[in-house]
Each structure stands twice: as C-alpha cells, then as structure tokens.
Amino acid sequence: MADAEDTHSALEPRRACQECNRKKTKCDMRRPVCGLCLRTGNTCSFPSKRKKPVLRKPHLKVQSRKISDSLSRLVQVLETASRAGEETDVSNGTREIPQSLLKDSLKGLLAEIRTSDTQANSSSGPATEQDEGQPSESTGENVEDEDEDVDGDGLEFPHIRGPDRESLTANNTVHSEASDLDNGISCSVAIDLVNSFFEKVQPWLPILHRPRFQARYESKLLVAGDVMKGLSADECLLFYGIFALSARFSSHPRFSNIPPNKRGQDFAERAKDVYTQGRTLKTPSLMYLQGCILLAFYFYTSGPTHQGWLLIGVCVRMAYDLGLFEIDEDDWTPASPVDHVEKEELRRAWWLVWELDTFASTVSRKPYAIDRKRMSVTLPISDEAWFSEVDVPSAELNLQPGQSWRSLHGSANQDERAWFLVANSFMATLHDRLQQKQDVSPDEKLTLENEVCCFKLALPPSLRLDIDTLTFTPSSFARCNWVIGTHLMLMATSFMVAGIVTGESDDNSISGLSASGISPLRQRAIDLSRIISLWDTRYIVVAHPFLACMMLPPYAVDSSVYRTQSLISSTHDLAKLVLEHFAERWKLGSVVSEIAKMMEQGGPRNPEEKQLVKRYAVFFRIPRLSGNSPAFLQPDYGQLDRNGSTTGEETLYAGQTEPQQRQVQPLQGFATSIGLPGQTNLSNYQAPMFDSQTFPPLHANAYESSNEVDLGFSEFFGSYQDTDLCWLK
C-alpha cells in the first residue's frame, strides 16, 4: 500500500498549490496538504492541468516596439487635440475632441496591431495549435497565476461600441498613397507629416517658425475629412511642399507599402494644380514663395530637371518682387508692420532662394540669377534663438576679395548654418571666377590661399572638426551636420585653389613654392577621409541632401586615376558608401552615385548619361580659362603632358616589389608646376589641372535638347511657354 502511494505521488505533476501560487510563496508540494496550508489552515488544492506557456520569439519584441510607437503617436495626437480643445468653450464645461481625429488615429493603431497579430500567427503556424491543451512541466517557483490570460485580440476601447467599433476593425487596412489622396488627407496623416517635417527636414531647411506655425494651424488640422479643404491656395501649396519632403521619413501605416524616396511624388503632383492657380495672382505672398521654395527643393533633391530650374527662377523673381534682397537696408519699409521674428522669416526665405540658385547654377556651370553684389540681407540666426523670439544681431556677407571670413568674425551670431552659408558663398565665388576667361595672377592665387587659411582659423570652437565638437545626438545632429557641411565646402574650395597654376615666373603661392608638395587630388582624398570618419552614419540621411554632391571632386578627373591610385580609389569608395546612405531617402543620392560610376568608367555616353553630363557639368567639364591658367595636377604616377603622352614614372604593376626613386630637379626661378614647352622629359613635370588639352572634349551633341530624358517629372508645370512668368509682371 505504501509502495502504491509512493508510485502515485511520483506520477503527480510537481506544481505549487493554488494558495501558494496566489501568495507567490514557495510551496513544498506535499500531498494532500502542503506545509504552508497545514500551518495556516487554508484549503490546499493542486491544479490538475496547465496550459503550455507560449515561447517568446524575437520578432514579438519588434512588434511590441511598433505598437508602442503607435501608442506614442496616438497620445501625441490626443494631446494636440486637447490643446486645441482648450480654445473652444463648451456649455457643460468639457472639451470636445473631433471624432474624425480619434477614428483616424485608432484606424492606424488597429491596423498595426492586426498586422502584428497576422505576422505572429503566420510565424507560429500549426505548432501553436498543436501545443494547445498539452500540459507542460514546470517547477513550483515563480509560476504566474494560471487564470491570467492576455490575448491581443481582447483589446477594448470602452468609448467605442456597437457599429462604430465594428467599422473600425473592419476597415483597418492600409491603402496606397494614390487612392488615399483621392479620398483627401486625414487629420492623423497631416499631423504626422508636419511633425516629421520639423524633426527631419526643418533642421537643414529652416524656413518656418515652428511655435507660431503650430499655434496657427493646430485647430485647422483637427477637422473631419480632408484637412486641405479649409485651406487657401497659398496654404495648400505650402502644405503640399511640406508633405512632399517629409513623407519619406513618415512611419504612418499609410506609407508602409511605398519606398521612402517615392512617397512624396503624389504630393508634389498635387502641388501642380496649386502652382497653376497661383499664376493668376497679381501680388504673390510670402507663403506662396515658401511653397515654391519647398517644391524647388523637392525637385533638386529628386534629381534636377528643366522644370526645377525654371521654378528656381520663379522663386528668385518673387523674392525680388517682395523686396527681400534689401530687407536690411536702412531705408527698407515693409508693406505692413513686422516684428523681428517675422523679419527673420523673410531673411530665411531669401537665403533659401539664394541657396537654391547657388547650387543649381554651380552644378550646371551656369551664371547665377541673384546679383550677390546688390543684396543687403544679414545671415540667419539659430533656430533656438528664433523660436525663443530672441533678437540676435547678425552680419551681412563680406564680398571683398580675401575677406569672406570676416563676415561673422567677431559677430554675435555664431550659428553653424550661418558659417555654412559663408563657406558656400566663398566656394561659389571662386567657382564663378574660374569660369571667366581672365588668367589668375600669382597674387590673386596667393590671396585665395590666404583666405582659405584665415577662414579655418576664424571658425569658432563650435565648428572645429574634432571628435569632441561633433557629438551626434537627437538634439545636436543638426548643428553637427552643419559643421560637416562647412568643412566639405572648405575642402572643395581648397581643392580648386590648389589646382590653379599661374603662367608667370614669379609665382610665390604655396603650390608654386613647393616642388614636392602633395597633389590637390590626393590632398582632397585625405581631407574627405577625415571628414567622413567623424560623420555619424545614423544622421547622414537627415543632413542637407545637397551635400551628396560634395562627395565627388569638382571638375573632370581622368578615369584612370581611380584604377591606378589606391588612396584616391579607396576614398572614392568611401564617398560612394556615403551616397548610399543619402540614396535611402533622397533620389539625389542615387543620381550622384550613378555619376560616380560614370567617372570611374569613362568612355562614350548614352543619352541618359549625356543628360546627367548637362545637368551636372561641374563634374565633367573644366573651367573656361586660357592655356597657362589652372590645371589638373595628376597624382604621383602616370602623369600626362599636354599632348597626352605619359611622363615620369610608369604606374606600378601588381608584381613590382620596389618602386624606383624619382629624381626631382627643380629649375631655379620657376615653379615646378608650370607647363614648359619642349620639356616633356622633366621627371617633376605636372600636367595642367584645368587645361582643355589634357582631357578629350565632349561629344558635339552632348548638349542637344533631344538627348534629355525624363527623370519622372516631365510636364510637371505643363508645356513651358514664354508667357509662363507673365503673372509676375
């Protein structure tokens, strides 16, 4: 009998009794009454069977994070609605939140929850069903109450009952962007896109005063149905521009099935109608100009087109008509009184138009539309000071030769973007100078070299290029990206200055005095490697997309350099990886990546490549200079003379163990980088950097309009006519 009881107790599953389980105490599991229940006099009962616990899988953590993000967005929307409700007085003293806002937000939340549940069920499959009802063994310690069962399908929303709740759960599917636009833009989508704009786009495109903008449009966005119906034409153009740029960063379920760099295309197409309506306006407003600015940035971050080029011209003319070019003149009188916050908004609109004109004209090697010598606009202050409505004195650009660094030196305004604009102006001024036919004298080159050095020395501590300054965080990444951009501009400027070879024998510049100095292309590779090494890759996609073009050297480079020079080749690979980060969100990154491949391959161009050559001529052409002016300095090996023959040391081949030493014999009284006719055997001869004889000319039909291909925005503004700009007259 005792043996039978021992055998029976051995077969009993070892689980804690229900009383010990409820008290979360250790149970000795003695039958029929455990020790604790025997001492306390409680009824002791053991469970007969237990559900097998569901094993947690790694993907469930990801789904939990997604649901948590959805809840966070829902809370943010509800807080916004609550703040808007404070402005509305209700008779019973309560605040009403629009039902459309709740429905839109809950639809998105339920859609993500259902998607997560579907993925969980599909991943578990029959195994989960097979395990149901089967007991599982466990110890008596740390066992959860068996009556507690949480099911994702059991989420309840007490304030939504009956047909409303059924309609929400039945319609929580994600549609395509096009079909959604036909139904209008809902409140939740609009709020998500506006927040994404201020978090990811405004840091590099600082155009709007966020506190005043949100205070003005909070109530207008918290409406039922399409939020765009209650907006004017100017407001619609502004919001469509915001949506077109910020949609690539949105995490709203509406865009889950659309690639990030294509999410804004339909919003941009909607802006076409608004732009057409605006042509009838006799006096375009600042808001309309801001909408055109955003749309122009969308075009040029998606790959420059003819329509984008024309739109920049429209922005320039509107800015002039609004008098933005002389906003800081002593006798400037606005049409209506403005405070210092509104005046700063006018300045920022001007500088963004200036930036568009500078970028578009530089990459295409065309004249600038803005006369830089006839503008009186101080540089913008920081967003922090602007949003806090603190008036910070600033300064204008100093356009005197060799004096650009004085623009902000000693000024109260030391904003990183302001310094970036000064560096951008310095680079653009030099680029424009190299397009002129007049020679660069030795004194002028030395002045440019001194200006580069002074610029670097005048930078404040916050713009130093070191690991202590560049601490990337969610709150500081915008400032750090402007520091990176400033040094990329200075790198390009130094490269162009160092490549200048003067035609006179009294060249006292740095490159003229140094017979064994490093070539400009190799120095650029060293500088670019250092800059990229300090750039946090997590924040490349939220940097200014135009910085993608700084990854390639301005002006044509022989394709053989990328195959024969290891340092330049490795830096080029590093730059291409940076372009891949840009391409994740911006089509411009993909376009520049394609240009990088074309520069490596060389050879004849197909029609698509010919259009890229036209739109990005800065990477394929040389400056318009006379024969004894700036020249491309080949790297250390395989240098070419003016006739294309090889001079100096031959390129090292893979099996060579010891390179031969170069015999350098500089001539007395002459810079070694000057091209000397008939002296092709000089071992220290360096071929012209920008000499037209160094590189083969482009094909005769490279610039024909028939070679243009559509990059996805053809006829965006309709067929262009000479009368298209008549509405500005």
**Three-class SS state of 163:** helix
Please give the pLDDT value at position 8: 47
Dihedrals φ, ψ of 353, to 5°?
A: -65, -45
Please give the pLDDT value at position 108: 58
Please give the pLDDT value at position 106: 61
| Last-in-domain residue among 364, 383, 398 | 364
The H or E element containing residue 639 is strand 639-640
Please state the rounded mean pLDDT for residues 528-549: 96
Do residues 442 and 502 lie in contact, with contact meaning Cβ atoms separated by under 8 Å? yes
**Three-class SS state of 566:** helix
- Residue 329, amino acid: E
Question: Which CATH number is 19's domain given?
Answer: 4.10.240.10
pLDDT above 90: percentage of residues in the chain: 42
pLDDT above 70: percentage of residues in the chain: 63
Please state the rounded mean pLDDT for residues 314-319: 95
Cα angle 562, 567, 572; round to 5:
50
Beta-bridged to residue 640, according to DSSP, are 646
Reported as a single tens digit per residue, the pLDDT across 590-606 is 999 999 999 888 778 88
In this structure, the answer to whether residues 197 and 345 fall within a common structural domain is yes
- CA 161, CA 153: separation in Å to the nearest integer? 15
Do residues 547 and 489 lie in contact, with contact meaning Cβ atoms separated by under 8 Å? no
Q: Is residue 174 part of a domain?
A: no
Please give the pLDDT value at position 74: 67
Please give the pLDDT value at position 273: 82
Q: Which residues contact 715 (CB under 8 A, 6 or more apart)?
A: none
CA distances from 5 to 10, 395, 514 (A): 8, 96, 101
Q: Is residue 249 part of a domain?
A: yes
Mark residue 664 as left, alpha or beta (left: phi above 0; alpha: psi -120 to 50; beta: remaining): beta
Q: Does residue 661 carry a pLDDT above 80?
A: no
- Residue 393, amino acid: P
Q: Which residues contact 414 (CB under 8 A, 6 or more apart)?
A: 408, 460, 462
Please give the pLDDT value at position 542: 96
Q: Is residue 162 part of a domain?
A: no
Domain containing 573: what range?
519-625
Reported as a single tens digit per residue, the pLDDT across 143-168 is 333 333 333 333 332 333 333 333 33
Dihedrals φ, ψ of 640, to 5°?
A: -110, 140
Dihedrals φ, ψ of 66, to 5°?
A: -65, -45
- CA 242, CA 223: separation in Å to the nearest integer? 19
Instruction: Give the residue among 383, 405, 408, 373 at the shortest CA–CA distance from 394.
Output: 408
Q: Is residue 70 part of a domain?
A: no
Please give the pLDDT value at position 88: 45
Reported as a single tens digit per residue, the pLDDT across 492-514 is 999 999 888 776 555 555 554 44
Reported as a single tens digit per residue, the pLDDT across 232-288 is 999 999 999 999 999 999 999 989 899 998 999 999 999 878 888 877 777 889 999
pTM beyond 0.95: no
- Other Cβ atoms within 10 Å of 354 Cβ, number: 26
Please give the pLDDT value at position 357: 97
Rg (CA), the chain: 34
| Last-in-domain residue among 595, 625, 655 | 625
Reported as a single tens digit per residue, the pLDDT across 352-368 is 999 999 999 999 999 99
| Last-in-domain residue among 311, 330, 364 | 364
Q: Does residue 707 carry a pLDDT above 80?
A: no
- CA 364, CA 310: separation in Å to the nearest integer? 13
Place of tokens 């060579």: 656
Reported as a single tens digit per residue, the pLDDT across 478-495 is 999 999 999 999 999 999
Q: Is residue 456 part of a domain?
A: no
Domains of the chain: total: 3
Mark residue 136 as left, alpha or beta (left: phi above 0; alpha: psi -120 to 50; beta: remaining): beta
Reported as a single tens digit per residue, the pLDDT across 673-704 is 333 344 334 344 343 433 434 334 434 443 34
Evaluated on CA atoms 398, 404, 408, 409, the torsion sign reads negative
- CA 229, CA 224: separation in Å to the nearest integer? 10
- CA 461, CA 469: separation in Å to the nearest integer? 8
Please state the rounded mean pLDDT for residues 104-120: 57
Q: Is residue 426 part of a domain?
A: no
Place of tokens 């605040």: 95
Please give the pLDDT value at position 39: 82
- CA 525, CA 571: separation in Å to the nearest integer? 6
Please state the rounded mean pLDDT for residues 163-184: 45
- CA 605, CA 625: separation in Å to the nearest integer? 25
**Three-class SS state of 647:** strand
Q: Is residue 244 part of a domain?
A: yes
Q: Is residue 374 part of a domain?
A: no
- CA 437, CA 626: separation in Å to the nearest integer? 6
Do residues 501 and 688 lie in contact, with contact meaning Cβ atoms separated by under 8 Å? yes
- CA 569, CA 553: separation in Å to the nearest integer? 12
Q: What average pLDDT does the chain have?
A: 74
